[in-house]
């Protein structure tokens, strides 16, 4: 019975382990959505938006009432004294009594009593302040800039995912073809060995095939290692544990080329590009900054109200008696008028105006850069599509030549050299085709980014 329990427990562990190692099926959209939740760069970009939101609220707090409470309790261990002439307060004395007091005699009284308590609450409210007014007007623009920066980060992450996913897809297809070619080469080697044993083939034919098999095995191992690296790059881009097994399900590269042709006709919309939108928002913020310095020449006005109680006693016990406290209150306004600050505001205004002009120039420069990148990406994608079509035809022709060479060899009217040469051309054409496919998907990613289609 114990052995039965152990067997069942072991089977359960194996089953659980197998279930835990089930590969995650991922399409390109799945990778994008997974990255939005797990990529740490995107997480921090979203946190930056929340941080900016809290900073905006801090700015808003400057326009709200500020209430402060205050409690002062003092015990003078050695009170300060005030000194005065003894005759100064000799009221009601006769002349003889007054003359009895020496003229240089000094009297003293304590400056304060030993125990004093003062408690108060003050409410202050800004009525008008140019800097606060501009900050309130600019708060929505500041949040827009933070959101655009987040969009820009999203675009960069999706760009990397787009390239990594398609590169991994192509690497899988290339590895499968090389592995299939290796299988065919080994079958041919087995046939040659049997033919040589029958006396109808030479050793050089077998050796030539062995060299090709070794090359194919090396290429297969190299591609396998590239697959591992490409897969880890994709997992890193989406924020997934690199030990998690995955399976790509969006692997139809050929079907995507039709959509790439349509992409060539898309026109540039600057509003779709976060880098352009961010500059427009930055221009607004710089204009707000210029306005802030202009309004700094105006007076600022604030109001305040204070209400409190205080007392002074010779003994500490009486301080706790609330009947001994005297209330007081006051209300007022404070007007601060800037008169002269050494021309600092003048130069600050000029600097802000120059910054606005510089941002306007940067916007025009970025527009030119966007146009250049879009045009160059369209040209690269168009050339890559033509190259893919050409390399695909070459690969099909090379496969046809290989099939014909193999058929002739099996029928005894061809040579092993023809088959080997045909297989070499097939491998070369396959490598060229997949290299062209990689150029296509990279060019498409560049164009999508240049057009702002990776949000």
| DSSP three-state, residue 308 | strand
Cα 152 to Cα 449: distance, rounded to the nearest angstrom: 10
- Tokens in use for 404? 């014909």
**What's the topology of domain 21-62+129-176+234-298+338-450?**
Outer membrane efflux proteins (OEP) (1.20.1600)
What is the full per-residue pLDDT of the chain (455 aa) written as tens digits?
444 344 434 444 444 444 456 889 999 999 999 999 999 999 999 999 999 999 999 989 989 999 999 999 998 888 888 887 777 766 667 767 777 777 777 777 777 888 899 999 999 999 999 999 999 999 999 999 999 999 999 999 999 999 999 999 998 988 888 888 888 778 777 877 776 666 666 777 677 778 878 888 888 888 888 888 999 999 999 999 999 999 999 877 777 777 788 888 888 899 899 999 999 999 999 999 999 999 999 999 999 999 999 998 888 888 888 888 999 999 999 999 999 889 999 999 999 999 999 999 999 999 999 999 999 999 999 999 999 999 999 999 998 998 898 888 777 777 777 888 888 888 889 889 999 999 999 999 999 999 998 87
Three-state SS at 67:
strand
pTM of the model: 0.80
| Residues 6+ away with beta carbon under 8 Å from 385 | 257, 260, 261, 440
């Amino acid at each position: 019975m114990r052995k039965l329990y152990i067997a069942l427990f072991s089977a359960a562990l194996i089953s659980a382990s197998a279930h835990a190692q089930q590969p995650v099926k991922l399409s390109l959209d799945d990778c994008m959505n997974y990255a939005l939740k797990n990529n740490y760069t995107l997480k921090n970009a979203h946190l930056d938006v929340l941080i900016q939101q809290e900073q905006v609220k801090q700015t808003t707090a400057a326009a709200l009432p500020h209430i402060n409470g205050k409690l002062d309790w003092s015990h003078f261990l050695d009170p300060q004294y005030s000194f005065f002439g003894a005759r100064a307060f000799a009221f009601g004395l006769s002349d003889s009594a007054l003359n009895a007091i020496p003229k240089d005699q000094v009297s003293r009284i304590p400056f304060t009593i030993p125990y004093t308590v003062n408690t108060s609450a003050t409410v202050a409210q800004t009525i008008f302040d140019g800097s606060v007014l501009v900050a309130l007007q600019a708060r929505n623009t500041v949040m827009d800039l933070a959101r655009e920066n987040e969009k820009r980060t999203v675009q960069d992450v999706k760009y990397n995912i787009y390239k990594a996913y398609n590169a991994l897809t192509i690497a899988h297809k290339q590895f499968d073809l090389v592995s299939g070619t290796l299988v065919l080469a080994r079958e041919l080697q087995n046939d040659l060995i049997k033919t040589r044993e029958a006396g109808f083939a030479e050793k050089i034919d077998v050796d030539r095939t062995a060299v090709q098999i070794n090359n194919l095995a090396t290429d297969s191992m190299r591609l396998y290692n590239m697959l591992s690296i490409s897969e880890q790059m994709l997992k890193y881009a989406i924020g997934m544990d690199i030990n998690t097994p995955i399976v790509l399900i969006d692997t139809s590269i050929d079907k995507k080329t039709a959509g790439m042709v349509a992409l060539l006709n898309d026109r540039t919309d600057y509003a779709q590009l976060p880098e352009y939108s961010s500059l427009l928002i930055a221009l607004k913020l710089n204009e707000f900054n210029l306005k802030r310095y202009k309004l700094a020449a105006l007076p600022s006005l604030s109001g305040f109200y204070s209400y409190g109680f205080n007392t002074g006693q010779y003994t500490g016990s009486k301080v706790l008696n609330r009947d001994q406290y005297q209330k007081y209150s006051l209300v007022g306004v404070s007007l601060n008028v800037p008169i002269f600050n050494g021309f600092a505001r003048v130069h600050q205004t000029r600097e802000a105006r120059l910054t606005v002009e510089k941002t306007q120039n940067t916007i025009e420069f970025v527009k030119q850069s966007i146009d250049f990148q879009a045009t160059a990406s369209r040209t690269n994608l168009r050339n890559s599509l033509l190259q893919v079509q050409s390399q695909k035809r070459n690969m099909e022709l090379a496969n046809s030549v290989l099939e014909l060479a193999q058929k002739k060899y099996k029928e005894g009217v061809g040579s092993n050299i023809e088959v080997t040469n045909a297989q070499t051309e097939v491998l070369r054409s396959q490598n060229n085709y997949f290299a062209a496919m990689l150029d296509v998907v990279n060019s498409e990613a560049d164009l999508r980014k240049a057009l702002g289609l990776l949000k």
